[in-house]
């Protein structure tokens, strides 16, 4: 019987219980536990459940509900948050620092173009996140507009301190950042605006114009006009040349492909595309200038990362500043370490593709299918967290001091007003109904 229990002990590591082995004669055979015990009687299974809940991007309340429905023994909420704060936050912080150091070292001696979106800085060619900062409203006098500027300044200072040669910084049209970068250009950093955001806003404005009765014909041209904007940005080397290419769309849509006066400084007075099919009345050119130019510096990749970030930092949940930073770092590690996955191929050697329908544009798109994520780094972090616990001589029940820079040192609550006492709220509500 005991040998059978020992064999199944590892299989029952997700649930713990104590059991006294007593035979019919009343003889006790000792007490056994289905989980190995860590120092000071912390169950290893409970510890790993708490750790993997965080590292997989899940939330305790949802998994606790799942366990309750199965009547499955689960760690308490108090124990979960203690494990999270005492062992997981420092483990993820240290792992990110090592990863960031190796990543920055790979760009040593190279000129780097950095893309910025909210609080994350992404390298243009590799699309890997070099650094990120999480800013709390309490650090900017509760002014949301100043958060992005403060975070970008901190990110740039970190990269410059680590000898990263930032050649160009690509951002959206944030006025505060533009004003700040006018000073940064003196340090050799060229500031440019993200083409993707401009093209996106152009499409929105064209869509709004096409809703009017007299402009309905514009609907068929929106995608082509936006693509033409991408082409103009890619080809033009000067502002005048860009204007000449961009204004040519006014002639193209009227089926006029040559004109007398050149709008640019290159003397060009015709469309850049070749001959069009005579039967194509719309002049819908899948060739020529009407294509989406590749190679542009845009933050479109980071927009996709922010969708992925919701896996780790769902908006309907609240997090303390250290936990929110940790979850952002987990998302960045997931993004960076799975960025170079290979594409899957079918048995006949063709690339495996998947179709995705965009409800907003009403179009189908085709994307290559990449290999499944393996999350090999999670096992390393689990081992490190366990080692922190085994080496801990204080325990996690002790009251912990807020780390330096924690915004809760500035103010206990994020709300601008302190919470009222329960009695005051009750009396206030009663007075309203009198």
pLDDT value of position 376: 94
Lowest model confidence (mean pLDDT) among 155-164, 223-232, 418-427: 418-427
Report the alpha-carbon angle 32-85-337, nearest 5: 100
State percent of the chain over pLDDT 90.
28
Write out the H or E segment, with its range, that includes residue 22.
strand 18-22
pLDDT value of position 13: 37
Is residue 288 predicted with pLDDT exceeding 70?
no
Distance CA 88, CA 327 (A): 10
Distance CA 118, CA 134 (A): 10
Cβ(31)–Cβ(19) below 8 Å: yes
Is residue 408 predicted with pLDDT exceeding 60?
yes
pTM here is 0.77
pLDDT band with cut points at 50, 70 and 90 for residue 422: low
In this predicted model, which residue has the larger pLDDT, 400 or 422? 400
Tokens of 278: 């005579």
* DSSP tag of 361: T
Q: Per-residue pLDDT averaged across 99-107, rounded?
A: 91
Is residue 307 predicted with pLDDT exceeding 70?
yes
pLDDT value of position 266: 63
* DSSP tag of 126: T
pLDDT value of position 291: 35
Lowest model confidence (mean pLDDT) among 148-162, 269-283, 292-306, 370-384: 292-306
Is residue 55 predicted with pLDDT exceeding 80?
yes
pLDDT band with cut points at 50, 70 and 90 for residue 29: low
Distance CA 285, CA 289 (A): 8
Is residue 14 predicted with pLDDT exceeding 50?
no
Beta-ladder partners of 117 = 120
Is residue 225 predicted with pLDDT exceeding 60?
yes
Most confident of the following: 13-22, 83-92, 355-364, 410-419: 83-92
Closest CA to 229 of 190, 203, 191, 268: 203
Q: Per-residue pLDDT averaged across 63-79, rounded?
A: 94
pLDDT value of position 101: 93
**Across the chain, what does the average pLDDT equal?**
80
pLDDT value of position 10: 38
Is residue 209 predicted with pLDDT exceeding 90?
no
pLDDT value of position 391: 92
State percent of the chain over pLDDT 70.
81
The predicted-structure confidence for 177-188, as pLDDT tens digits, reads as follows 777 777 655 467
Q: Per-residue pLDDT averaged across 212-230, rounded?
A: 84
* Cα–Cα distances in angstroms (integers) from residue 417 to residues 257, 320, 339, 342, 413, in the given order: 63, 18, 43, 52, 8
Report the alpha-carbon angle 93-154-162, nearest 5: 70
The predicted-structure confidence for 324-366, as pLDDT tens digits, reads as follows 999 999 999 999 999 889 999 999 999 999 998 877 667 788 8
pLDDT value of position 357: 87
pLDDT value of position 360: 66
């Amino acid at each position: 019987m005991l040998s059978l229990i020992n064999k199944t002990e590892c299989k029952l590591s997700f649930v713990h219980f104590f059991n006294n082995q007593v035979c019919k004669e009343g003889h006790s055979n000792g007490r056994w536990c289905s989980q190995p015990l860590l120092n000071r009687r912390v169950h290893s299974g409970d510890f790993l459940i708490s750790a993997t809940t965080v590292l997989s991007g899940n939330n305790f309340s949802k998994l606790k509900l799942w366990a309750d429905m199965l009547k499955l023994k689960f760690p308490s909420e108090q124990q979960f948050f203690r494990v999270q704060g005492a062992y997981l936050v420092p483990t993820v912080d240290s792992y990110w620092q090592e990863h960031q150091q190796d990543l920055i070292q790979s760009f040593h001696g190279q000129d780097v173009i950095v893309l910025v979106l909210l609080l994350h800085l992404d390298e243009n060619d590799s699309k890997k996140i070099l650094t990120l900062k999480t800013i709390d409203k309490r650090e900017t006098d509760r002014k949301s507009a100043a958060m992005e500027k403060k975070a970008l300044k901190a990110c740039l200072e970190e990269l410059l301190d680590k000898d990263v040669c930032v050649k160009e910084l690509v951002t959206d049209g944030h006025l505060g950042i533009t004003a700040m970068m006018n000073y940064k250009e003196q340090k050799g950093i060229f500031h440019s605006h993200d083409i993707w955001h401009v093209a996106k806003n152009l499409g929105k404005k064209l869509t709004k114009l096409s809703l009017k009765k007299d402009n309905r014909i514009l609907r068929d041209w929106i995608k082509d006009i936006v693509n033409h904007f991408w082409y103009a940005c890619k080809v033009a080397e000067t502002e005048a040349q860009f204007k000449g290419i961009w204004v040519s769309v006014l002639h193209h849509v009227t089926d006029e492909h040559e004109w007398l006066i050149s709008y640019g400084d290159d003397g060009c007075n015709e469309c850049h595309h070749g001959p069009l099919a005579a039967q194509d009345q719309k002049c819908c050119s899948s060739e020529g200038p009407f294509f989406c130019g590749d190679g542009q510096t845009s933050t479109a990749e980071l927009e996709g990362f922010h969708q992925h970030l919701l896996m780790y930092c769902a908006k309907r949940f609240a997090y303390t500043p250290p936990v929110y930073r940790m979850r952002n770092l987990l998302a960045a590690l997931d993004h960076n370490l799975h960025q170079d996955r290979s594409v899957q191929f079918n048995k006949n050697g063709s690339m495996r593709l998947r179709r995705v329908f965009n409800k907003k544009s009403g179009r189908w798109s085709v994307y290559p299918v990449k290999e499944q994520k393996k999350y090999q780094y999670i096992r390393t972090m689990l081992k490190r967290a366990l080692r922190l616990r085994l080496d801990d001589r204080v325990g996690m029940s002790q009251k912990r001091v807020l780390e330096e820079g924690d915004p809760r040192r500035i103010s206990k609550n994020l709300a601008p007003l302190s919470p009222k006492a329960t009695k005051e709220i009750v009396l206030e509500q009663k007075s309203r109904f009198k």
